[in-house]
Structures are given as structure tokens and as C-alpha cells.
Structure 1
Amino acid sequence: MDKKLQRSWMMYDWANSAFATTILAAVFPIYYQSVAAQGLSEGAATSFYSFTTAIGVLIVAVLAPILGAIADYSAAKMKFLRFFAYMGMIATVLLFTINEGNYILASVLFIFASVGFSGGNVFYDAFLPHVAKKEDMDRLSTWAYAFGYIGGGILLAINLLMIMKYQWFGLPNDKIATQLAFVTVGMWWFIFSLPLFKNIKEDKVAPQEPRTKSYVSIGFGRITDTFRTLRHYKQLLIFIIAFWMFSDGISTIIRMATFYGKTIGIGTNDLIAALIITQFVGIPCTFFFSKLAKWMSAKKALTLALMVYVVIVILGYFMTSALHFYLLAVCVGMVQGGAQALSRSIFAKMIPHNKHAEFFGFYGITSKFAAIIGPAVFGFAAGLTGSSRFGILSLIVFFIIGIVLLQIVNVEKGEKEALEATDPSDVVTVQAK
């Protein structure tokens, strides 16, 4: 495959991972609570932020499979990717305007930014089978995640330095520094997306029948058909359920780690430092999982990563100090990128070649609803027992069920099912411009 296409595709992970690190994980949640939600009680601020996150997730979960089906039919994945990416970039830059008490504006902008980020990823992921041969998917997917760790980690480190040492940058206070950090994320995302936007285009191999319905009708029709025919892809269906389970656990750890650390008395600086450690440990370890998948198969490598997560959850229950949190951050960095990248590549191998975006829409649904269910279970367990330690321990169920289901999946058989279901007259290809 064209190396230029692959490099361009990987650079988008470098570009948008800045949003995942600075906005989703490290800086914006703290800014929302301390600045945007100023005047609200702690409980109200938490509720508003939780609902804001949930609304963004639900919008993407509902839209992703429909838009994916439309994109497959019209060979317009790149157009949709641009639309969502630009929406996310603009909304992220506009976070600069948020001041004390502007929690409504902060919520609205964050929803638009989150929808742009997650919606764009549906179409970005759907390009993987176009830019890599089957035997290269594991390597390319893990390398892209590693690129994301590098890009997101570099900008996060710069932004945190700018916030904590704002005087070095000639800024009056850390609030202005934080607002400028939001701007840098939007600009970073835009600049490093340009190789993908510039170098990749879609071509239809063969024309379809004349379109007699609107794209929206076609999209809903194809989604209905996908639900009806998904039972024919038995291996893919089992993998989706397994992914839903262990993705619950992974997503909850990502979103709740700093919150859990706070509840057991770990300082903000230690929490932020641990996030940076996770990013940079993830770089070589994600590359390593690319090699590991080649040596022992992607499914076995993914299983190994999930087993490490089981250990992380157990150790997290007993964690008492900042040192423990640092050690767990290293463990998460070792497996997080590998688990997510191999999940993506295994899924890509088992979907019909003419329904990439449509099926990645389903893939997106599983990961997006995971962002709701996992934290809910965490909160329920913590509330029932009166301790957040039992909240973190409850996540072990997601990983164990996910591991068990994953062992049932026959990836080679799933690839065969996908090949048999592919209509050769309705295939989209990509090429360098």
C-alpha cells in the first residue's frame, strides 16, 4: 500500500489526540469545575458536567451509524470527516471565551467539540481498511495510536507547563494560560490534519444504481438492514459484545482515574504528572504491541492487555499513595494504546469491504455507550458501598466478561464471513491525490 497514504492517515491520530489529552482528560474538566461552574455547588457542577458529557456521547452514538451508512453509499467519508473535524476544531478554539459562571456556554461548546471529535473518529477509523492490507492493519493501527500518544503527550506537556509557569510565557495568570491552551488544541488539530485532508481521496470502483431516495432515507434503510443481517456475521457480533464489555472498563478508567485519585487524597499535581507519564509510557508500549500481535496474533495480544487491566483494577482497589498512582499510570500506559489499536484492527478485518463506515458506526456506538454505562456502574457501586474503592473494583466484571467472550471469537472465520458478504460491484477505494 502507498506509504504516503498510511503516513497521512496516522497523522490524524497525532492531530486529534491533543483533544483527548488536554480537553477530555486533563485541563478542561478542572477548568469547568473551577471557572465555568463558579457559583454552583460541587454537586451541581458535577451533575452539569456529567450531563454535558452524556449528551455529547448520545448524539454521536445515535448519529454515527446513520452517517456511516450514508458515507458508504455516497463514497463521502472524507467529506463527513472534514465536517466533524472542523466543527470540533472551531468549538475547541471557542472554549477560549468561557469565563466565570459561563457553565451553559461551556457545556454547549464542549458538546459540539465532543461530537466533532467522536464523529470524526468514526470516519477516520473507517479509512483503515482502505489504507492498509489485511496483514498490515494491526501494525498500522498500533502505530497510529502511538503517534497519537506522541502528539497528544507533547501538546499536553506544553500546555501544562504554560499553565503552571504562565509567567515564563508573559501571561498574567493561569486562567488566561488555560484559555490559550484550548486555542492551541484547536490549532494543533487543524494543522496536523492537513496531510490526511490533502492526500487522501475516495474513488468508486463501479457506479451504483441511480439514487431515488434521499441520503437520510438510504442511511436509515441501510442501518435497518445492518441490524437485520448482523446475525449473519456471528464472529463479528461476538466481538462487538466483547468489545462493548472491556471498552466499558477501559473508558471508565480513562474518565474516572483523576476523580478516583482525588477521592483518596492524591494531589492535583500528582494526578496531572501521572497523566503525562501514561502518555509517554504508551508510545513505546503501543509500538511493542504491534510486534506482539505479529508474534502471537492480535487476539492473544489483546487478551494479554486485558489481563493486565484486571491486575490494574485489583491494585487500584488497594491504592493508598501518590506513588501507587504513578505505578498504576505506568501500567495503564503499557496496555491502553495496544488494547484500543488491536480492537480497531481486529474489527476492521471482520467487516464487509463495502460497509466500512457503516460498521464502524456500530463500533462507535459500542465505545460511546461504554462511556455512559461504565461510569454509571462505578457510581452505583461506590454509592451502594459508600466507598469509591468498590467503584473501581466493580470494573473487573467488564474485563473478565470481555476476555471470556473474546476467546470465543474466531477472527479467521470472521474474515471469511466478511469476504463472502462483500459485493465486489460496490467497493470504495482511496488513493493519493
Structure 2
Amino acid sequence: MQAEKKTIYAWAAYDWANSAFATVILATVLPIFYRDVAGVNLPGNLATSYWGYTQTIAMLIIALLSPLLGAAADYSGAKKKFLKTFVILGVTGTALLFFVGSGNYLIASCFFILANLGFAGGNIFYDSFLPEISKSVSIDHVSSLGYAAGYLGGGLLLAVNLILISKPALFKISSSIRASQISFLTVAIWWLLFSLPAFKYLPEPEQDLSDLSVVKYWQIALKRLQFTWTNLHQYQELWKFLLAFWLYNDGIGTIIRMATIYGREIGIAQSDLIGALLLTQFIAFPCALLFAKIAAKITAKRGIYLALIIYIIVTLYGYFLDSAFDFWLLAAVVGLVQGGAQALSRSLYGSMIPADKSAEFFGFFGVSSKFASLLGPTVFAYTAQLTGDSRYGILSITIFFVLGIILLSRVNVEKAREEY
């Protein structure tokens, strides 16, 4: 049992590690840096739109790769090796952001896409360990523990970087721009350092792959992927859940990726934006665990309903946002439900899939979210560019939550668990 706890804590430690990327790179410092520095020469709200399109390209690449990678990881028994590879890729791309300067929005987009490939690709293999390490422990609890650790770890490094950027002179740094560049390096170091427990303690079956060529390896992976896809109709309830998740998680992801640059566009100060997102992290930490308790009482599905209704209120209020106080308020409300919605979605899905095909099915889980993530930022960016006002972009995200609730209501969870 002690060894099992060590494995679970090592798994959660990876969420602590890579959530620094989510907080600093995805949600706060880089979007502001992209608008104010990398995209400083872009007119109007083009920097905001280009950031949205950058998200779309990044998600397209990982969406195309994720099912193949999931199937390959299951076949080879090399989930941990794949995880290590993508961590190195993500850490490298993140560190390269240090070299982005004024007007370099194309370079910033390229380095971000590289880093995001490492982040999103690594999460496929990280998520696939969940059913395997939760055999004698509540999967809702373990999933929520991971998200809670992520929010706390990501929040701590964000707090350090907030001080670094707002008071650069205290650290003998020449400017807040240089401090932002240094913050990208801190993410790379943090991510790599706290990934080490996962590299050491997560299980990896011993398997001799010496006689398997690279070409043959991918051929087998593609055949397995094709088999899973053609037989997905056997898991009708699981398929319905994926469609629902595809929609509402796209809405959640779009808010995470676009909220800060949207707030910067309407004139909210950088310190308020980063501070408010920091508040989100620390509220989300206990609330992710709280949602596990809520799920135990009302079921995970109903817990997700609760979170999505609150997200609808957030997007509607976001249209009228015009002050730092409004942004702080919305950030606090998002913190109440963000971790819970994500943790319960992951654990609910994990409870409905065949355990012996966890990486393969989490590959499909990744595809459903990554392809969906193509749509949200694109809708936001195109709506904002078409209307010349990003307020309509944030309003357009409401539909993702409404349709997600409708589709989720049609999922029979117990029937899904009986389908395999």
C-alpha cells in the first residue's frame, strides 16, 4: 500500500510540474507578453486574434498525433518513455521563449507551438496512468488530487513570477520585459525538476522491443488505432460522452487560453491580470478536491453539470467586463469550478473505458479535446476579427457549454461501464 501511495503522489507531482506551463505560458504571462511585446506592431485587436490562431495550429498538430501516440504507448508498454520524450520537447520549447523580443510574434508562435506539443503530448501518457494506479483507490479522488497539486504548484510559480515581473529592480533585472523572459526559463526548470518523481516511480512493464523497426512499430500502432476507431460503435455511451466533452471542454480551454489577452485588450493592467489568475489557481486547489466529495454525493455527472452552468454565467458576464474588479470576480468564480470540471471529466471517462486499453482510449480522449480545441479559439478569434470587438468572441463561447450540457444529459454512465 505504501508503494501504491508513492506511485500516486509521484503521478500527482507531474501535475504540479507541468501546471507551471499552464499558468505562466498558456494563461497569463505569455499571452500578455505576446500582445505587448511580440505583437506590439500589430494594429487593433490582431494580436488577440493571432494568439487565437496560434492556439488552433498548436491543437491541430497534437490532435493529429494524439490517437496514434496513445495506441503506440499501449502496444509498446512504453508510456513512461513517451512521457519523458514529450517533457524534454516541452521544456525545450518553453526555454526558447526566453529569446523572443519586440515584434517577434511569428517566432513566439513557433516556440509556443513546440512547447505546447510537449505539454499536450505528455498529458496523453500522464492521463493514461490514471486507471492503472487507481485500482484500490477512488479514481475521482486520485484525479482530483492531481488537479489540486497542479493548481497549487502552478499557482506558486506564478506568484513568484508575478513578484519578478512587477518588481524587477528588486532582483536587479533591467525591466519587466526581461523579467517576463526569465519567467519562461523558470517554467522550463520547474517542469523538468518536478517531473523526476514520475520518471522514477510510475510503473513501466519490461518489454523487449529490440526486434521492432520504427516503420513496423508505427504500422502496428496505426492498425490498432484503426481497430479502435472502427469498433468504437460498441461503446455507444462512451462515444456520446466524448462528444459532450468535446464541446464543453473546448469552452473551458478557450477561456483558459484567451481570458488574459482579452483582458489586456480592454485595458486591464498586467498586475491585475496575473494577480486574478493567481487567485484562480489558489481557489481551484481546494475546490478540485471539494468536487471529488461533491461527486461522491451527487455523482460525477451532476458535478459536471453544476460546473458548466457556472461557466455559462461566466461567459455572459464576460461580455460586459470593463474593469479590473470584474476580471478579479470572474477569475474567482472560474476557480470554483475549473478544477472540478476537468478532474471529474477525466475520472468519469477513466471509469468507462477498458483498463487494458487505457493509453489507446485516452488517446481518443486527447483527440476529442484537441480537435475540439481547434474550434473554440478559432471561433473566438474569427468572431473578434470579424466584428472588431473581442467581447463578441467571449460571448460566442457560451454555445459550447449549452450544447455540452445537452449531450451529457444523454449519457448513461452505468450502461457505459457494462459495455465492456
TM over 0.5: yes
Partner amino acid for 1:410? Answer: N
Distance change >3 Å, CA 378–CA 157, structure 1 → 2: same
Q: 1:325 aligns with which of 318, 324, 327?
A: 327
Q: 2:302 aligns with which of 297, 300, 303?
A: 300
Q: What is the alpha-carbon distance in structure 2 between the residues aligned to residue 383 and residue 175 of structure 1?
A: 27
Q: What is the alpha-carbon distance in structure 2 between the residues aligned to residue 245 and residue 188 of structure 1?
A: 32
Shift of 1:386: 5.6
State the partner residue of 1:398: 400
- Gaps (5+ residues) in structure 2? none
Q: 1:237 aligns with which of 229, 239, 242?
A: 239
RMSD value, Cα: 2.3
Q: What is the alpha-carbon distance in structure 1 between the residues aligned to residue 307 and residue 48 of structure 2?
A: 31
Q: What is the alpha-carbon distance in structure 1 between the residues aligned to residue 247 and residue 96 of structure 2?
A: 35
Q: In the TM superposition, what are the counterparts of 1:81-160 in structure 2 within 5 Å?
A: 81-133=83-135, 136-160=138-162
My pick for the range that moved more, 183-192 or 307-316, is 307-316
Q: 2:272 aligns with which of 270, 273, 276?
A: 270
Distance change >3 Å, CA 50–CA 390, structure 1 → 2: closer
Contact 1:81–1:124 (Cα < 8 Å) also in 2: yes
1:181 and 2:189 are equivalent in the alignment: no
State the partner residue of 2:164: 162
- When the two structures are superposed, what TM-score results if normalisation uses the length of structure 1? 0.90
Partner amino acid for 2:412? Answer: N
Q: What is the alpha-carbon distance in structure 2 between the residues aligned to residue 107 and residue 384 of structure 1?
A: 22
Q: In the TM superposition, what are the counterparts of 1:278-427 in structure 2 within 5 Å?
A: 278-382=280-384, 387-417=389-419, 420=420
Q: 1:67 aligns with which of 62, 66, 69?
A: 69
Q: What is the alpha-carbon distance in structure 1 between the residues aligned to residue 175 and residue 321 of structure 2?
A: 34
Distance change >3 Å, CA 306–CA 51, structure 1 → 2: closer
Contact 2:49–2:381 (Cα < 8 Å) also in 1: no
Contact 1:251–1:370 (Cα < 8 Å) also in 2: no
Shift of 1:49: 3.7
Partner amino acid for 1:62? Answer: L
**CA distances 1:129-156 after superposition (whole Å, capped 9, x unpaired):** 1111276111111111011010000001
State the partner residue of 2:260: 258
**CA distances 1:230-280 after superposition (whole Å, capped 9, x unpaired):** 110011000000001111211121122123334444333322221111111
Distance change >3 Å, CA 318–CA 161, structure 1 → 2: same
**CA distances 1:52-80 after superposition (whole Å, capped 9, x unpaired):** 33222111111111011011001011110
Q: 1:220 aligns with which of 188, 207, 222?
A: 222
- Secondary structure, in 3 states, of the residue corresponding to 1:408? coil
Q: What is the alpha-carbon distance in structure 2 between the residues aligned to residue 269 and residue 345 of structure 1?
A: 35
Partner amino acid for 2:196? Answer: L
- Secondary structure, in 3 states, of the residue corresponding to 2:203? strand
Contact 1:68–1:361 (Cα < 8 Å) also in 2: yes
Shift of 1:98: 2.4
Distance change >3 Å, CA 286–CA 122, structure 1 → 2: same
- Gaps (5+ residues) in structure 1? 421-433
Q: What is the alpha-carbon distance in structure 2 between the residues aligned to residue 264 and residue 96 of structure 1?
A: 26
Q: 2:58 aligns with which of 56, 67, 71?
A: 56
My pick for the range that moved more, 373-382 or 18-27, is 373-382
Q: What is the alpha-carbon distance in structure 2 between the residues aligned to residue 174 and residue 262 of structure 1?
A: 16
State the partner residue of 2:28: 26
- Secondary structure, in 3 states, of the residue corresponding to 1:12? helix
- Secondary structure, in 3 states, of the residue corresponding to 2:205? strand
- Secondary structure, in 3 states, of the residue corresponding to 1:172? coil
Distance change >3 Å, CA 40–CA 374, structure 1 → 2: closer
Partner amino acid for 2:351? Answer: K
Q: 2:196 aligns with which of 183, 194, 197?
A: 194
Distance change >3 Å, CA 211–CA 179, structure 1 → 2: closer
- Secondary structure, in 3 states, of the residue corresponding to 1:107? helix
- When the two structures are superposed, what TM-score results if normalisation uses the length of structure 2? 0.92
- Secondary structure, in 3 states, of the residue corresponding to 2:194? helix
**CA distances 1:14-38 after superposition (whole Å, capped 9, x unpaired):** 0000001111111112223333345
Aligned identity (percent) is 51
Q: What is the alpha-carbon distance in structure 2 between the residues aligned to residue 46 and residue 388 of structure 1?
A: 8
Q: What is the alpha-carbon distance in structure 2 between the residues aligned to residue 10 and residue 143 of structure 1?
A: 7
**CA distances 1:110-165 after superposition (whole Å, capped 9, x unpaired):** 22111001100010000001111276111111111011010000001101110110
Shift of 1:94: 2.3
Distance change >3 Å, CA 98–CA 310, structure 1 → 2: closer
Partner amino acid for 1:281? Answer: I
Partner amino acid for 1:36? Answer: A
State the partner residue of 1:428: none
Partner amino acid for 2:220? Answer: I
Distance change >3 Å, CA 379–CA 113, structure 1 → 2: closer
My pick for the range that moved more, 119-128 or 52-61, is 52-61
State the partner residue of 2:205: 203
